[in-house]
Chains A and B, each alone.
Chain A
Amino acid sequence: MILYILPLRFQDNALLVDLSSTLSEVFKLPVSILQRTLPLDEGYDPVRNQFNSSWILSRLLKLTPEESCKIIGVTEVDLYVPVLTFVFGEAQVEGQVAVVSSYRLRDELYGLPKNPERLKERLEKEAIHELGHTFGLIHCRDPECVMHSYTYAEEIDFKSKNFCTSCAALLKSKKNKFNDMI
């Protein structure tokens, strides 16, 4: 199995490289950054000035190179699903695709000075979280587990990049099951 990162209107290449090595370390899988473009215009809602993350997932599914892979789109645009005001990211539960946005993870959005290190940490946690969903994990009660769901950017700093014991065990069994299937 391989994990692909697809930049979607994402300029910071250094951040992508860091993300790539973190994901590889956490999921113990090879990670590759895809050099493809995916136009996002159709997923844009001018009234909300946001991009529909469910629409992006549907496009990512068409791009998926093979069955034995997962692909995560990483973007700087603001994401939403129709019934919610915003999302940090979205994933196909027990599926192949996920998307994560750095837009609301930036301190400067909340009137604070830029903090590249904090942005990197938050983006990594949210990317791991969304990819966790693609392995079939749901939200966890443990506030330090990466699968814990937070809805404020500063709360993401409470959790770690790690899975708690039970989520880690579940992830392992889901990965094994997946490997048996392919």
Chain B
Amino acid sequence: MNLTKNDKPASILVVDDELSVRDSLTKWFTEDGYKADAASDATEALKKLKPGKFDIIFLDIKLPGMDGMELQHRIKSVDPNATIIMITAYASVDTAVKSLKEGAYDYVTKPVDPDYLSHLVSNVIKQRRLASENIQLREQIQELYEIDQIIGESPAMLKVFDLIKTVAPTDTTVMIKGESGTGKELIARAIHSNSPRRFFPIITVNCGGLTEGLTESEFFGHEKGAFTGAQYRRKGKFEMANGGTIFLDEVGNIDPKSQTDLLRVIETKQFTRVGGDEIITVDFRLICATNRDLELAVKEGKFREDLYYRLNVFSISIPPLRERRSDIPLLCNYFLKKLAAGINKPVTGFSSEAMEQLKAYPWPGNVREMRNAIERAVVVSKGSAITVEDLPIPPSSKAVPEDQSLESVERVHIKSILDQMGWNITRSAEILGIDRATLYHKIEKYGLRK
């Protein structure tokens, strides 16, 4: 009637101050194969409540202390997705109707007809399953169209699109090369979304943010008690990507020990969790990205040569924005439309001076920097078109400092990016394509101040 042998049983909470009601309802639901729990008042109910813990909550309108109506509000604030059904006596039907207006799904009047109760619960569960399937399908459809989010008509980008279409249906390992902010993850998602693995997950690992000790656990997971703080068994990213794609961002930053581990898992498709001895076999497609010159890293002995050749099977290079300036107006208008709609602001275009400035600017942080600049401009803009004053980029980007030494240019550029980003170190470092520690070092070196 309500669940298959493989389904997780729906979970129901009964909140009623009458023991006989709690007992009979929880027993009825247990016999029907649901997971049932009960609470005698609001305090006990709120203690048991956690987001997603209960699918359906039966709630008596008249409770000691906090009444059912108030508890309904509290429940909605903790778990807005829980379906609430009010339990009422004949005398409180008016209140029950009021509770429906406040978002309750339905109400039952005591004593309730067993057939009605059975159908009510069964219908709620069907609806919840459909809603959940609907969300999953929407997400999948959204992923399928992700290639449309990559904007560009320049010959360089058309070549990238061709390469994506060629490699996507295969299982080939792909290496995406490009400066920071060029949209490497978007390309990886587009490849996955157009591959036969699209109905399985794409799992991203930001290798740049992993320390040597963390990488192994992040890649392969760990068993409970494998190390201090490992309180639960945890799946690693390779296990999570089973059937789908694993995307290793900033793969050039992986430490030597993890390079060896990575090589082994690529070759054997097998690994064990940290602290475990069970051999886990996984099926994944590998896509990785780097903004470093890996060939140079290989020559310098910082990156294993055998791993490099394993990763660099099919290479896609994304040109920096300054090398495809013809795409700038297209990208600007795309972001403007998307971002203005997002905050419901009637900004529809750029003044001709603003567009000239956007086209002239070198965009060291590439598309990511452009998106952030336009987002800020949309927020501060007061008219229907974005003006030069709205743009957070230097008015004369072609101007060069008198002192043209490399250090001086770097100093001016870093200061400019920091100012634009309101001295947000993380975002500035991202745009500059360096890590936070390096940025702090340069701030100190050049004596930069807010």
- Residues of A in contact with B (beta carbons under 8 Å apart): 48, 54, 80-87, 90-91, 93, 133, 138-139, 141, 148-149, 151-152, 166
Contacts and interface: CB of A to CB of B under 8 A. Distances in A.
B150 interface: no
Nearest to A142: B1
Nearest to A52: B20
B31 A83 contact: no
Contact of A93 (B21, B31, B111): B31
A166 B111 contact: no
Main secondary structure of the interface of A (DSSP, over half): loop
A151 B20 CA distance: 21
B114 interface: yes
A136 to B, nearest CB: 11
A141 B1 contact: yes
Interface stretch (B22-30, B74-82, B94-102): B22-30
B241 to A, nearest CB: 34
B115 interface: yes
A83 B21 contact: yes
19 contacts: A48-B111, A81-B28, A82-B20, A82-B110, A82-B111, A83-B20, A83-B24, A83-B25, A84-B24, A84-B28, A84-B112, A85-B112, A93-B31, A138-B32, A139-B1, A139-B31, A141-B1, A141-B3, A148-B1
B33 A83 contact: no
B5 interface: yes
Interface of B: 1-5, 18, 20-21, 23-25, 27-28, 30-33, 87, 110-115, 117-118
A174 to B, nearest CB: 15
B24 A139 contact: no
Contacts of B117: 84
A139 B21 contact: no
A86 B28 CA distance: 12
A151 B28 CA distance: 12
Contacts of B31: 91, 93, 133, 138-139, 149
Contact of A166 (B5, B27, B110, B115): B5
